[in-house]
Structure 1
Amino acid sequence: MTGGGPAVVREREAFALLSRLVEVPSGAMVAMIERFGAADVADMLCRRTFPPGFEELEAATGPRLEEVCGRGDPFERAAADLRHVSRLGGRLAIPGDDEWPAWALHPLARRSEQAGGHSDEWRELRPFALWVVGAGRLDELFDRAVSMVGTRAPSAYGEHVARQFAGDLVAEDYVVVSGGAFGVDAAAHRGALAAGGVTVAVLACGVDRPYPTAHAQLFKAITSAGAVVSEYPPGTVPGKHRFLNRNRLVACATRGVVVVEAGLRSGTRNTATWASRRSVPVCAVPGPVTTATSVTCHALIREGMAELVTSAGDVLERVGAAGELALIPEAPARPTDGLTPAQLHVHEAFPVRGEMMVADLARRAALSDGAVRSALPILELRGLVAPVGAAWKLVRGEREGGAVTPE
């Protein structure tokens, strides 16, 4: 929903204006909007009027009030932002819109352990508006989504795993969410797209200046069925604190987080911590113990923060809805599948090379001559053995190749 009468239009402009006035996340802003409505809040802030209990917004918005509200009509500035994003094929999604992902964002309103100790207080971390470019509806995209995160400099193994997992997840009708960065993020997005699936990139900057710029074509491909999403208004440049704030959305707005590869001081740890503290399942892919890019994955598993996964099936088992079955890998068929124990014993009694008489096979298999004679025609039909006069021999390659060698 992006249209409506004058009141609806002004409400959307108010949300656009407020996204310029405060750096997210802002629990005070969310609470004030829910109490007074965005239009009234925008009016109050531009008049520098702060109701009792919301005084903290004066310090939070002060540096921007003069810039945004002190030069002409601030609502016209907001309208210009909306027009600018609309020309990009985008929109501003706000609470009350049909597509607003209220359920997906609910974990960001839950009680959690806070930095510096434990707290029983509620810390409101939901976004109050989201800038979106893309064909997908936010509620549908985040309803069945899995986040994939990791280092910007993955190994060939990590990049392969990210692509493979993403492709397998979208094959099961999941949406892959990541941050659009180099490395694991890009591999996950591309893996989803290559498999004909849908993916979402959550940015730490404005949707009109996606970062990194080298991914401009990737972001364009993402918007064809998915979306590029940001809390930040048009023109916002990326910053370290914005990446950390962005991580909470990647971590908490999906059914689970998969950490593919991450080094010791990777920001990926921040994403995993957000998810763990908000009771969102965390999965980690193991790697070689000699590889620096697997250090965080192994640490998360060792500390009990993440569950070890080796396939998309393992991920689905962790994040799927009740009754939803995980992918079951198909084991390769063996020529000996379906043989009876006696037939297997006869087959295993053969040497790799050479011929054997029935009596010798019976002795080695600890079976009667009659049991051996009954088994040999079945093994011959399977192409496992062949007669040589009165004796029998193993067909070359079946045991040597390892296909039927007992494990």
Structure 2
Amino acid sequence: MSDERTARATLTAVAEPGDIFLNRIIDHCGPEQALESIRTTRIPDGLYASPKEIQRLEHWRIRLIAAEPDQDMAVCSQFRGRLVCPGDPEWPTTLDDLGTGRPYALWLRGPGDLRYSCLRSVAIVGSRAASPYGLRAASDFAAELADGGWTVISGGALGIDAAAHRGVLAADGSTVAVLANGVDVPYPAANEGLFAEMARRSVLVSESPPGTHPHRLRFLVRNRLIAALSRGTVVVEAEARSGALNTASWAAKLGRMVMAVPGPITSRSSVGCHRLLREDGATLTTRTAEIIEAVGRFGTDLAPPPNTPVLARDRLEPVTRSVLEAFPSRGTTGPAQLAVKAGVDLTTINAKLGLLAAAGFIERTPSGWRLTKSAKTPTSPTTNNPKPP
């Protein structure tokens, strides 16, 4: 491993991911000199640092004592993992949009090519305490996106994240999990089987070396990667203080599309989605085609209009339909009244009454003609209605 790669591997162990001050040092003098600055706790010439930033150097120096990059790489190779650095063929250039918040390097596990996977990708995120509605939506969206050749990116958490990953795997597609812990640490433990399957078929990503356990701050920090790697973020369900809203905020900052799925107004799990739609200009999304339209090629990946149910009465020719629509919703009527209301002569009325009766739309009673029960239900689909004349 080159000195630069060793330095970057070491930096992932001593500093929190995406530290702006450390990235400034790396930009100023490179990762090797940045590591030397940590060893000596000296600011590189020409670079300003605040007192708090100088304190961070001391903190990193202490952590450097325990850093073992060679061992981390050895552990990584045991599960066929790899370290990907800026400039490598597999490094996603979209991460450069993070500026001084970009990763120092990424630890990967799984056969999927990260850069290639992210070329056509959508992030699906949401609540850990998801409802059956949210789980179904996330899984269906993910599976349909996978069928269309799109990669789904999420955070590997319980709830919406796991449903999205599983939806892709069920469709034999490509999915990426961005973790707040090492790629060899199954967290949450309930998703251990899911991570094992992703490691076999897709790719797990982390900014931290193998063996690293998560803490709360890292979950928020990793959200910027989910947003940066994808072309747009879909929030399926989110409570008022959901981490998914943090991912959506990052996506908006980076100029990515932000989409939200509406839910019941009585559901706490949809409060965050509704806020995104009402206050933050998120795009309302109810179909996979709408997601692809938002992040796809301009003028090409347009969503077709939603299918509306075709009713048996819609297939009637105009005059017959006008006679049917002249019927009162309740009670009976006679040919003379229908003729006046429909604006046709009695001969035509009598002919159309016979056709409508044969098709099951109307029936004759001792007091006149009336609509049948099926004809009174205009939302009934064609398959449930009699064959029209």
Q: State the TM-score, normalizing by the size of structure 2.
A: 0.83
Q: Aligned residue for 1:23?
A: 16
Query: RMSD across aligned C-alpha pairs, in angstroms?
Result: 3.3
| TM-superposed deviation, 1:355 | 9.8
Corresponding position: 1:207 with 2:183: yes
| In structure 2, C-alpha distance between the alignment counterparts of 1:241 and 1:139, rounded to whole Å | 26
Closer/same/farther in 2, CA of residues 326 and 404 from structure 1, 3 Å limit: closer
Matched AA of 1:59? Q
| TM-superposed deviation, 1:202 | 0.6
Among candidates 294, 302, 306, match of residue 325 of structure 1 = 302
Q: Aligned residue for 1:273?
A: 249
| In structure 2, C-alpha distance between the alignment counterparts of 1:144 and 1:357, rounded to whole Å | 63
Q: Aligned residue for 2:165?
A: 189
Closer/same/farther in 2, CA of residues 339 and 29 from structure 1, 3 Å limit: same
| TM-superposed deviation, 1:25 | 0.9
Q: Aligned residue for 1:295?
A: 271
| In structure 2, C-alpha distance between the alignment counterparts of 1:232 and 1:351, rounded to whole Å | 71
Q: Aligned residue for 2:151?
A: 175
Q: 2:309 touches 2:381 (CA, 8 Å); kept in 1?
A: no
| In structure 2, C-alpha distance between the alignment counterparts of 1:164 and 1:282, rounded to whole Å | 19
Closer/same/farther in 2, CA of residues 29 and 225 from structure 1, 3 Å limit: same
Identify which range, 42-51 or 22-31, moves more after superposition.
Answer: 42-51
| TM-superposed deviation, 1:64 | 3.8
Closer/same/farther in 2, CA of residues 242 and 349 from structure 1, 3 Å limit: same
Q: Aligned residue for 1:142?
A: 118
Matched AA of 1:184? I
Closer/same/farther in 2, CA of residues 249 and 67 from structure 1, 3 Å limit: closer
| TM-superposed deviation, 1:96 | 1.6
Q: Aligned residue for 2:75?
A: 84
Closer/same/farther in 2, CA of residues 90 and 404 from structure 1, 3 Å limit: closer
Closer/same/farther in 2, CA of residues 157 and 311 from structure 1, 3 Å limit: same
| In structure 2, C-alpha distance between the alignment counterparts of 1:369 and 1:99, rounded to whole Å | 78
Matched AA of 1:22? A
Q: Aligned residue for 1:118?
A: none
What's the secondary structure of 1:336's corresponding residue?
helix
Q: 2:125 touches 2:233 (CA, 8 Å); kept in 1?
A: yes
| In structure 2, C-alpha distance between the alignment counterparts of 1:296 and 1:244, rounded to whole Å | 16
| TM-superposed deviation, 1:30 | 3.3
Among candidates 99, 105, 108, match of residue 95 of structure 2 = 105
| TM-superposed deviation, 1:174 | 1.6
Q: Aligned residue for 2:45?
A: 52
Corresponding position: 1:224 with 2:200: yes
Count of residue pairs brought into register by the alignment:
376
| TM-superposed deviation, 1:37 | 3.9
| TM-superposed deviation, 1:92 | 0.8
| In structure 2, C-alpha distance between the alignment counterparts of 1:54 and 1:82, rounded to whole Å | 31
Among candidates 238, 244, 263, match of residue 220 of structure 2 = 244
| TM-superposed deviation, 1:361 | 5.0
| In structure 1, C-alpha distance between the alignment counterparts of 2:329 and 2:8, rounded to whole Å | 77
Q: 1:136 touches 1:226 (CA, 8 Å); kept in 2?
A: yes
Q: Aligned residue for 1:121?
A: none
Deviations 1:122-168 (A, max 9, x none): xx211121111111111112211111111111122222222222222
5+ residue gaps in structure 1?
Answer: 1-7, 110-123
Q: Aligned residue for 2:59?
A: 63
Deviations 1:289-321 (A, max 9, x none): 222122111222221342222222332232222
**Aligned sequence identity (%):** 40
Corresponding position: 1:315 with 2:311: no
Task: Give 1:345-364 correspondences, 5 Å limit.
Answer: 345-349=322-326, 362-364=339-341
| TM-superposed deviation, 1:268 | 2.2
Closer/same/farther in 2, CA of residues 301 and 401 from structure 1, 3 Å limit: closer
| TM-superposed deviation, 1:98 | 0.9
